[in-house]
Amino acid sequence: MNRTLLILCLSMLLGACSSTDEIELEPAELVDFDESARLKTLWRKGVGAGQDARYTRLVPAVVADSVYAAGIEGQVSAFSRMTGAQQWSTDLEESISAGTGAGFGLVLVGTYKGEVIALDQETGSERWRSQLSSEVLAPPPPPRD
Report yes or no on 5 lying in a domain. Answer: no
What CATH number is given to the structural domain containing 102? 2.40.10.480
Tell me the per-residue pLDDT of 85-108, one tens digit each, with 9 for 90 and over.
999 999 999 999 988 999 999 999
Higher per-residue confidence, 22 vs 27:
27
Report yes or no on 144 lying in a domain. Answer: no
When pLDDT is cut at 50, 70 and 90, the band that residue 55 belongs to is: confident
138, 131 Cβ separation under 8 angstroms: no
Report yes or no on 87 lying in a domain. Answer: yes
Report yes or no on 90 lying in a domain. Answer: yes
Is pTM, for the whole model, over 0.85?
A: no
H and E: helices and strands count for the chain: 1, 8
Report yes or no on 71 lying in a domain. Answer: yes
117, 109 Cβ separation under 8 angstroms: yes
Q: What is the pLDDT of residue 24?
A: 80
Domain that holds residue 98: 61-131
Residue 5 has pLDDT above 70, yes or no: no
Report yes or no on 113 lying in a domain. Answer: yes
Report yes or no on 12 lying in a domain. Answer: no
Report yes or no on 35 lying in a domain. Answer: no
- Structurally, the chain folds into a number of domains equal to 1
- Cα–Cα distance list, 85 to 14, 58, 110, 119, 144 (Å): 53, 20, 25, 19, 27
